[in-house]
Amino acid sequence: MNLIQEKFAELDGQTITTFTMINDQGMEVSTIDYGCTITRIVVPDRNGTLENVVLGFDTIEEYQQHSPYFGAVVGRHAGRIANAEFTLEGTTYHLAKNNNGNHLHGGIKGLDKVIWNTEVVEEKDSLTLVFTYLSKDGEEGYPGNLKMKISYTLNNDNELQISYEGVSDQKTVVNVTNHSYFNLSGNLKRDVLNHKLTLKSNRFLELDEELIPTGEILPVENTSFDFLSGRKIMEGTDTNDSQNIIAGNGYDHPFLLTDNHNKEIYLFDDESGRGLIIETNQPAVVLYTGNQLADDFSIRGINSRKYLGLCLETQGLPDSLNHPHFPSAILEKDQGYYSVTKYIFTN
């Protein structure tokens, strides 16, 4: 295992550092301490060719100007909260209305736009970056001083594990995830329309026009949302299913997982032979197929465009604060928040 630390940029007088973990197979994971943002994941294809499989930038300016959360940790509450407010014990908390009058991904300066402290833990067969941050009481409107610790571990089996731990000195809400956009073709040679996704999920959340859950949980059976035996992403981009159309001709939906830690999410690109297995302790995964990706910027020389990458955001259910039948995102005072997701790259 090897670790390279380099200066990435200066921001408001603070230095942003890139940490590149390299395992004995040559797999590389580059992360900056700005938002714990994964800027690059380099893995082999079926012929052993090492290429990058995530969307990312090489300058802080590009992240600030163009990034729709590329590779970042999002929170304190990932996804949307209707009307940007919630009530806890009789107190209503008002959050930033940063998406159509609703709240998205933690607000204006969420966990994705702060600089985290970093420690490195070296073991024989793995390397871990431990990111820590104190989100103060009232930050972005959320109650409680929330201590977050996020660990990125790369091992020699081409597995990247991300664990999220949090504790607050007041009752609050926490639902944190990583917002990486994957494209297994390598160096963005193709878009993700031909990627095949398999999900252990037989239900998904219905969305309204503002992409907010209506509260209805729909069966995937006989719909373009049925990924049980694998389905190509393109099959959801030209249907007349109102849920695909609402999402911008694609997917932007939470899927309820029927299994955990057991290959419940599997993405495969036949042309390169690359695969990605994702295992988690979370109840859901939001599949977002990059339907809103703008085309007025380039990513390392490749024009950005719709469907150039897809996200598989393992988390609790968006807007659960307004739907009592959803698993709760409420964290009691001094209660430990724990979420873990493993990304297993195959070729």
Among positions 28, 252, 279, 319, the unique one binding ligand GLA when judged by CB under 6 A: 252
- The closest of 74, 76, 217 to 139, measured between CA atoms, is 76
Q: By CB under 6 A, is residue 311 in contact with ligand GLA?
A: yes
Catalytic pick among 77, 105, 179, 253:
179
Residue least distant from ligand GLA (Cβ): 68
Which contiguous run of DSSP H or E holds residue 346?
strand 337-346
Q: By CB under 6 A, is residue 72 in contact with ligand GLA?
A: no
How far is it, in rounded angstroms, from Cα 230 to Cα 182?
A: 17
Show the tokens assigned to 66. Answer: 């163009």
Q: Which is nearer to ligand GLA, 292 or 328 (CB)?
A: 292
CB 193 within 8 A of CB 232: yes
CB 104 to ligand GLA: min, Å: 6
Q: Which is nearer to ligand GLA, 242 or 292 (CB)?
A: 292
Among positions 93, 288, 307, 337, the unique one binding ligand GLA when judged by CB under 6 A: 288
Which contiguous run of DSSP H or E holds residue 245?
helix 242-246
CB 105 to ligand GLA: min, Å: 6
**Is residue 216 among the annotated active site residues?**
no
Q: Which stretch binds ligand GLA (CB under 6 A): 33-41, 277-285, 286-294, 299-307?
A: 286-294
Q: By CB under 6 A, is residue 131 in contact with ligand GLA?
A: no
CB 68 to ligand GLA: min, Å: 3
**Is residue 179 among the annotated active site residues?**
yes
How far is it, in rounded angstroms, from Cα 154 to Cα 28?
A: 9
Q: Which stretch binds ligand GLA (CB under 6 A): 14-22, 51-59, 170-178, 284-292?
A: 284-292
CB 235 to ligand GLA: min, Å: 19
Q: Which is nearer to ligand GLA, 197 or 286 (CB)?
A: 286
Dihedral over Cα of 316, 105, 210, 60: its sign: negative
CB-based contacts of 163: which residues, under 8 Å, 6+ apart? 150, 151, 153, 338, 339, 340, 341
Size of the site for ligand GLA (CB under 6 A): 9
Q: Which is nearer to ligand GLA, 45 or 252 (CB)?
A: 252
CB 99 to ligand GLA: min, Å: 7
Q: How many helices (H) and strands (E) does the chain have?
A: 2, 30
Q: Which is nearer to ligand GLA, 165 or 206 (CB)?
A: 206
Q: Decide: residue 285, CB within 10 A, 0-12 exposed, 13-18 middle, 19+ buried.
A: buried
Angle at 128 between CA 122 and CA 134, to 5 degrees: 125
Among positions 43, 84, 211, 321, the unique one binding ligand GLA when judged by CB under 6 A: 211
Place of tokens 């590149």: 20
Q: Which is nearer to ligand GLA, 167 or 312 (CB)?
A: 312
CA distances to 218, 227, 235, 238, 257 from 222, rounded to whole Å, are: 11, 10, 13, 16, 18
Q: By CB under 6 A, is residue 64 in contact with ligand GLA?
A: no
Q: Which is nearer to ligand GLA, 221 or 297 (CB)?
A: 297
CB 223 to ligand GLA: min, Å: 19
Name the residue type at position 147. Answer: K
CB 205 within 8 A of CB 317: yes
Among positions 5, 292, 303, 328, the unique one binding ligand GLA when judged by CB under 6 A: 292
Q: C-alpha dihedral over 303, 209, 207, 309, to 10 degrees?
A: 0
List the catalytic residues: 179, 313
Instruction: List interacting residues with ligand GLA (CB under 6 A).
Output: 68-69, 104, 211, 252, 286, 288, 292, 311
